[in-house]
Amino acid sequence: MDRATELFPKLRRPDDEEALRFGDRALTYRELAAAASGIAERVGRAERVAVWATAELETCVAVAGALAAGAAVVPINPKVGERELEHIVGDSEPGLLLAAPGFQPPEVLRQIPVHEVDLAPGSGALPPKPDEESPALVVYTSGTTGPPKGVVLPRRAIRANLDALADAWEWTAEDVLVHALPLFHVHGLILGTLGPLRLGGTVHHLGKFSPQAAADELAGSATMLFGVPTMYHRLADDAERDPDLAKAVGRARLLVSGSAALPAVEHERISRSTGQRVVERYGMSETIMNSGVRASGDRRPGYVGLPFDGVEIKLVDDAGRDIEVSDDETVGEILVRGSNLFTGYLNRPDATAEAFADGWFRTGDVATRAADGYLRIVGRKATDIIKSGGYKIGAGEIENALLEHSLVAEVAVAAAPDPDLGERIVAWVVPAGELTDRDGTAAELTEHVARLLTPHKRPREVRFVDSLPRNEMGKIMKKALHG
Ligand code: MLC
Ligand code: AMP
């Protein structure tokens, strides 16, 4: 067996160690391998397979089985709205959809065969290892405008990047990772699920995040916690109130935060109450993980550490020239090159070409570099990208959805700072006609976005205005909105 390039070596030689636990349901490696072989048989030679990614064992079995079959997995947010779902299945054309029993297919999925994932063992034989450069996942991510794009991640990127994380965090088969992240994005799926499976370790998924549930796990067998800053904010609140909870969290080997900036104040609150200093890492759907603080490294609040093995990072100025200084002050866009990169956006050669400059991927994130090489992210080039609760959301897609509503004449969507979500989505709406029920209309618009796109893209605030600030060219000046 080729340990180096086999994505999940332990599925080829399974034992009775626990692989996955969701509440009171769990699977050992032997059970997982057997169930995954059944899925692989069902998937056959399908090129792409959609997985209805509920936070359940079945999702993990579906992903492991489809990957073993050599298919690319398209994970779907089970709360996805009708418009977004239509786009994703239209774009990715999955040959099959895998879902946990009881799944009721929405209308748009009618043409796609659905296979209910059960945990019964298949023949136990897994197909030969697929090619390293073949697509493993197609993860949908928002841009500034238009519908989400499918990020095609090859097996090589997942394998190489997970090995780099294991090395940086001294992460081994002995670790039990706990988290409550959704299983349709890089953080919860690749790091939080495929990570432990690659190492032959264990993941405990909480189903739904609560500081108490995470602390209970860390008081038990769990050694590591992965979360987005919103989760750490809530953990900090509870740890300050509850010394027992703080003590349980203090037992962790490693707390890791990512997907959005962890404010220095949250870092300090957690370290004061629990004695733990959170390790921060920086990633993206297109690149998996770029940089992070090593387990043995200096856990400085506000810094996302050094490039992981296999990743090259440079900062460039507005003219695209390399920034050579490491003064922790000069800001530049982060460009990335390495074995961690995606191969392109599905069906979007135009967007793929635009995302690269001389073989370097342009992240759109803006950072400084300190004398010891530590990166500090200070912002983003695009104001139309919003990060709320760790989810990436494009202002344009929300504006388009709102403009379809008959009560909306004009709209601008922008981010406002939020202590819990990091950023919250605010929609500035010029109503079409007289407003008779402000609150009712605001709720209706919110629901409209949740239904069409997905609940996490719904505005948390709707502000009605008579007009939007525009420049001489007629372009909306979003920076003037909050004034
Ligand atoms: C509320 N709800 C609605 C609704 N209003 N449902 C339908 N219509 C409406 N109008 C429901 C929600 O579905 C949810 O249900 C509940 O109310 C709470 O809403 P929420 O908005 O989901 O909860 P919130 O408290 O805001 O969630 C916070 C959070 C979440 C931190 C738990 O934002 C989260 O899971 N974030 C993780 C994002 C992530 O994984 N990003 C990684 C991207 S990869 P219910 O049943 O769910 O409670 C990446 C790369 C990298 O960034 O570096 O990692
Ligand atoms: P996504 O497209 O959902 O994968 O989101 C990727 C984006 O999340 C990056 O481009 C960053 O803007 C942001 N991000 C991820 N991790 C961090 C972090 N540790 N600090 C700041 N921003 C982050």
For 214-223, how does the pLDDT look when each residue is reduced to its tens digit (9 = 90+)?
A: 999 999 999 9
Question: Does residue 447 have its Cβ closer than 6 Å to ligand 1?
Answer: yes
Q: Which ligand 2 atom is nearest residue 286's CA?
A: 4
387 CB within 6 A, ligand 2: yes
483 contact partners, CB below 8 Å, separation of at least 6: none
Is the CB of residue 273 less than 8 Å from the CB of residue 242?
no
Q: Is 209 in the pocket of ligand 1 (CB under 6 A)?
A: yes
In the predicted structure, residue 1 carries a pLDDT above the cut 50: no
Closest residue CA from atom 2 of ligand 1:
455
Residue 198 CB less than 6 A away from ligand 2: no
- Give the distance (Å) from ligand 1 centre to CA of residue 456: 5
| Buried residues in 58-88 as b, exposed as e (16+ CB within 10 A) | bbbbbbbbbbbbbbbbbbbbbebbebbbbbb
Pairwise CA distance, residues 167 & 252, whole Å:
18
Given a cut of 50, is residue 280 above it in pLDDT? yes
Residue 125's pLDDT is: 84
Q: What percent of the chain has pLDDT over 90?
A: 93
Mean pLDDT, range 146-153, rounded to an integer = 96
Residue nearest to atom 48 of ligand 1 (CA): 208
CA-wise closest residue to 427 among 373, 391, 386: 386
CA 288 to chain centre: 9
79 C-beta closer than 6 A to ligand 1? yes
pLDDT mean over 94-114: 95
Pocket probe for ligand 2: among 282, 287, 336, 345, the residue whose CB has the most ligand atoms within 8 Å is: 282
In short, whether 311's Cβ falls inside 6 Å of ligand 1 is: no
Judged by its nearest atom, the ligand closest to the C-alpha of residue 423 is 1
Residue listed under structure tokens 């090859």 = 154
Distance between CA atoms of 206 and 177, rounded to whole angstroms? 11
Strands 375-380 and 114-116: unpaired
Neighbouring CB atoms inside 10 A of 97's CB total 21
Q: Which ligand is nearest to the CA of 376?
A: 2
* pLDDT computed for residue 146 by the predictor: 86
Give, using CA atoms, the residue closest to atom 4 of ligand 1.
455
| Alpha carbon of 12 to ligand 2 centroid (Å) | 34
**CA distances to 149, 247, 248 from 243, in Å:** 44, 6, 9
Output the pTM of the full model: 0.96
Q: Name the CATH superfamily, with its identifier, for domain 9-188.
A: ANL, N-terminal domain (3.40.50.12780)
DSSP state letters, 191-258: IIIIHHHHHT-EEEE-SS--HHHHHHHHHTT--EEEE-HHHHHHHHHHHHH-HHHHHHHHT-SEEEE-
**CA 389 to ligand 1 centroid distance, Å:** 7
Please work out whether the CB of residue 162 comes within 6 Å of at least one atom of ligand 1.
Answer: no
Burial (CB count within 10 angstroms: exposed 0-12, middle 13-18, buried 19+), residue 322: exposed
Residues 190, 182: Cα–Cα separation, whole Å: 11
- Parallel/antiparallel/unpaired status of strands 391-394 and 408-418: unpaired
pLDDT at 136 > cutoff 70: yes
Please give the Cα distance from 452 to 419 (Å, whole number): 27
User: What is the spatial distance between Cα 324 and Cα 116, in angstroms, rounded to a whole number?
Assistant: 54
Average of per-residue pLDDT across 143-156: 94
β-strand partners of 150: 140
The answer for residues whose C-beta is within 8 angstroms of residue 436's C-beta and 6 or more apart is none
Q: Which pLDDT band, with edges at 50, 70 and 90, does 122 fall under?
A: confident
Give the C-alpha separation, 291 to 432, whole Å: 47
Could you give the CA distance from residue 250 to residue 87 in angstroms, rounded to a whole number? 44
Sheet holding 224-227, edge to edge: 25-28, 18-22, 202-205, 176-179, 224-227, 254-257, 279-284, 288-292, 306-307
Confidence of residue 4 (pLDDT cuts 50, 70, 90): low
- Residue from 81, 71, 76 nearest 36 by CA: 71
423 lines ligand 2 (CB under 6 A): no
Side-chain half-sphere of 256: how many Cα atoms within 13 Å? 34
Give residue 138's region: left, alpha or beta (phi > 0; psi -120 to 50): beta
Atom of ligand 1 nearest to the CA of 289: 53
Query: For a substitution probing ligand 1, which of 165, 187, 291, 448 has the most ligand atoms within 8 Å of its CB?
Result: 187
Mean pLDDT, the chain, rounded, equals 96
pLDDT digits (tens, 9 = 90+) for 395-425: 999 999 999 999 999 999 999 999 999 999 9
Q: Would you place residue 199 in the very low, low, confident or very high pLDDT band (cuts 50, 70, 90)?
A: very high
Answer yes or no: is pLDDT of 483 > 70: no
**Amino acid 53: pLDDT:** 98
pLDDT > 70: what percent of the chain? 99
- Given this model, what pLDDT does residue 473 score? 87
182 lines ligand 1 (CB under 6 A): yes
Return the pLDDT at 2. 52
Span 326-330, average pLDDT: 97
User: Amino acid identity, residue 109?
Assistant: L
Query: Residue 424: which of 381, 473, 390 has the closest Cα?
Result: 390
Q: Is 94 in the pocket of ligand 1 (CB under 6 A)?
A: no
CATH of domain 385-480: 3.30.300.30
Domain ranges in the chain are 9-188, 385-480
Which residue would you say has higher pLDDT here, 196 or 478?
196
Task: Indicate if the pLDDT at residue 224 is higher than 60.
Answer: yes
Ligand 2 contacts CB of residue 282 (under 6 A) = yes
